[in-house]
Amino acid sequence: MKQGKTLQELGRELQRQRLNRQDFLADTRTLEMKSDSFGSTLSLSLDGHDYNFTVGDVAHQQIANRLGIPYRYYTKMLNDAPELLDRNVNCWLNQNPERRMIRVLDGNVRAFLSDRYRRLDNLELCAAVLPVIQEMQGAQIESCEVTPTHLYLKVVNRRLKAEVRVGDVVQAGFVVSNSEVGLGSLRVEPLVFRLVCKNGLICKDLAQKKYHVGRQVNASDDSAYELYSEETLAQDDKTFFLKVQDVVRCAVDEAKFMLTVDRLRESTQIPLKHDPVKSVELLADKFQLTENERGDILRQLFMGADNSRYGLVNAVTAASKIAKTYERATELERIGGEILSLPISHNLLPPTVNAYQSLPEYQTISA
């Protein structure tokens, strides 16, 4: 499992972000984009003052998507014809006016969102779930990180463990993740931690999620104004995070853990249909892996000397530890879980009853 910040470093960074963030609701007619070879700035008026913020990559993608501009063409204009991009963006911001939430951090627009987007902020989330984790006997935060798009808390419970093979011990855990910029819901996902190599496997199909959709904020005029979550959403947040605490308390579920262990045991008996090189090539095509990731997984598969589905899962999760970013490492851990949950091909083994396919993809946490 790739290591990120210490818990103390995470706390300091979340506090820093709290002091340096700004959230606005703005009519799109009050916004104006200006771009040049160095990038873009977004201007808005608030109480007679003009504010100018740089625009981040995620916000660019969200602006393009909302305005119906193909992102490939959007980036071509940004790189080769910035004035053309401004004409397009500013035209459509005025042509189809609506109220949007603008999330700013360190003077940079990090998200361009619906005015119904519910802010489930990372600092409040940690304040809600860390005491619950501390109360769990045997629970330990194995890894944590805040990236430009997500917060991750990866927790392992040392008390709940099982063997996949003799001496190959795995422990139960879970991942809490959240995005403040609209890239996914708040999730609590089962995690399996393999002791022999400290690999993490995330089981997406057993996750619980909460989408960032809240009440629409009404305003009596069309001007932009700043939001203060402490004043406007405190009571709603308190109620919601009480529900999140309940979900976290139940996150380490012995029945679900043993179900995943049974999958792992079953995967040790599923040989790869093709040779290792071809198997990794097919995997790379299915999950859009980079050349470096393909090479890393192939090396791990050879080093593990296990040409079963279990060996392939472990090769992917081992490669996640050397991924370039924490974000990508987590995605590879999820890919490992997806490989594990694939149905058994009749070309590999005779068909067997697979109880996992009847499970719901996820359960929604009610707001």
- The tens digit of pLDDT for each residue in 158-180 reads 999 999 999 999 999 999 999 99
Question: Nearest-CA neighbor of 111 among 187, 20, 39, 180?
Answer: 180
pLDDT of residue 344: 74
pLDDT of residue 32: 95
Report yes or no: 248 and 129 within 8 Å, Cβ to Cβ.
yes
pLDDT of residue 185: 84
pLDDT of residue 118: 82
pLDDT of residue 209: 58
Spans of the chain, pLDDT less than 70: 205-236, 345-367
pLDDT of residue 224: 52
pLDDT of residue 208: 64
pLDDT of residue 284: 93
pLDDT digits (tens, 9 = 90+) for 319-365: 999 999 999 999 999 999 999 988 875 333 333 333 333 333 333 34
pLDDT of residue 138: 92
Give this prediction's pTM: 0.84
